[in-house]
Structure 1
Amino acid sequence: MKLWILRHGQAESHAATDAERNLTAHGREEVLRSAAQLIGQPISAIIASPYVRAQQTAQLVCEALGFEGEIRTVPWLTPDANPLQVLEQLDSADNLLLVSHQPLVGSLIGLLQHGHLRDPLSMNTASLAELEGDWPLAGLMSLNGVTHP
C-alpha cells in the first residue's frame, strides 16, 4: 500500500476558531503544486480533517486530480490528535491520501517510519510525504520522499 500524507496549505492567521481558518491565496497555490505530484497515483480514498483549511486542501486536490470519490471527513485527523489512535483507524491496505495538520502529520510519519514518536518529521504547509509498506503499522512503512512546494 501507499500512503500519502499532505499538510494543508497556508491558512489565514485569524478566525473565530482555529477550525474555521481558511486557506490564503498562497496556500491554494501551494496545494496545487503538491497536488501535481499526485497526478497518476493510484489513490483510492481521500480522508481529511474536518477543519476548514484541510477540507479546502482536500477539495483542491480532488479538482486537480479529477478524483471522483468523496472526501471522507473524520474527527481523528485534527492537529492535536493522537498518532497512535490514527493508526488504529487505518486498517486497510488501500492507497490513501490523508489531509491534516502539524503536529499530527509529522508525528504520524515518524511513527510509521520509526515505530516511535521521538522523531517527528518537519512538514511545511502543503508538504506531501509518500510512504509505502504492506500495512500502515508503526515502524513498518518506508518513507519514499517528501515534497515541499
Structure 2
Amino acid sequence: MVNLVIMRHGEAQPYAADDSLRQLTPDGQNDVRQMALWLKTVYANLDYVWSSPYLRAQQTAELMLEQQPAECQFKLIPELVPDAAAEAVKAQIDALLLAQPNAKLLLVSHMPLVSFLVESFTEPGQAPIFSTASLTCISYQPGQGGVVQERNRPLALSVLPEI
C-alpha cells in the first residue's frame, strides 16, 4: 500500500530577490493540478500534506489539497527546505507512522532534498532526479524500509495521441 508520496514543487518563476518567495508559474500551477487529479484517481485519499515553508512549495501543496478530503491536514515543516537533511525529515515521518500506521502522507519539497528523501526511505542508490511537479509513490514501514511503487510526472500524463 502506498502511504508516502514525495513531490517536487511545480515550475516556479526563475528569479526573486529571496529564493523562498518564488511563486509558481501558470504552467506550474496547471502541472500540479494535473498531478493532484491523477493522485486522487489512482491512490486513496491522503491524511496529511506536509510542505516546505518556501512559497512555491506551499502553493503546490495547496493545489494538491484541493483534490483531497477536508479532513486532510496541512502542515509547514521547516526541515523540508532544499538543503535540509533527509534523516531529520525521516525521523518525523517514522514517528508519525509509528503512532498512526495507516496514515497516508504527501511531502512537498525541493531538489535535491526530494531525491535524498526517496533514497532515505528506500535504499542507497535510489535517488532519482525529479522534474518539477513530479512525484514518487512509496510503500514504507518504519524499521523495515520502503519500496518505490510508482513515479509520475506531468508530461507523462499529458502525452495522448491525436484522433
Instruction: Give the TM-score, by structure 2 length.
Output: 0.82
Residue ranges of structure 2 left out of the alignment (5+ in a row): 98-102, 155-163
Superposed displacement of residue 65, structure 1: 3.0
Does the Cα contact within 8 Å between 2:47 and 2:73 map onto a contact in 1?
Answer: no
Does the Cα contact within 8 Å between 1:113 and 1:140 map onto a contact in 2?
Answer: yes
Identify the residue that residue 133 of structure 1 maps to in structure 2: 140
Q: Tell me the SS of whatever aligns to 2:67.
A: helix
Structure 1 residue ranges (4+ consecutive) displaced by more than 6 angstroms after TM superposition: none
Question: Residue 101 in 1 paired to residue 110 in 2?
Answer: yes
**Which residues in structure 2 correspond to 1:6-45 (within 5 Å)?**
6-39=7-40, 41-45=44-48
Structure exhibiting the larger radius of gyration computed from Cα positions: 2
**Which residues in structure 2 correspond to 1:71-82 (within 5 Å)?**
71-82=74-85
RMSD: 1.6
In 1: Cα distance, 2:104 partner to 2:75 partner: 14
Q: Tell me the SS of whatever aligns to 1:92.
A: helix
Identify the residue that residue 92 of structure 1 maps to in structure 2: 96
Identify the residue that residue 63 of structure 1 maps to in structure 2: 66
In 1: Cα distance, 2:71 partner to 2:32 partner: 18
Identify the residue that residue 148 of structure 2 maps to in structure 1: 143
CA deviations over 1:78-101 (Å, ceiling 9, x no partner):
011101111111112221110111
Superposed displacement of residue 130, structure 1: 0.4
Identity over the aligned pairs, expressed in percent?
A: 34
Residue ranges of structure 1 left out of the alignment (5+ in a row): none
Identify the residue that residue 161 of structure 2 maps to in structure 1: none
Q: Tell me the SS of whatever aligns to 1:130.
A: strand
Does the Cα contact within 8 Å between 1:4 and 1:96 map onto a contact in 2?
Answer: yes
In 2: Cα distance, 1:60 partner to 1:96 partner: 15
Superposed displacement of residue 66, structure 1: 4.4
Instruction: Give the TM-score, by structure 1 length.
Output: 0.90
Out of 21, 44, 49, which is 1:46 matched to? Answer: 49
Superposed displacement of residue 67, structure 1: 4.0
Q: Tell me the SS of whatever aligns to 2:106.
A: strand
Q: Which amino acid aligns with 1:50?
A: P
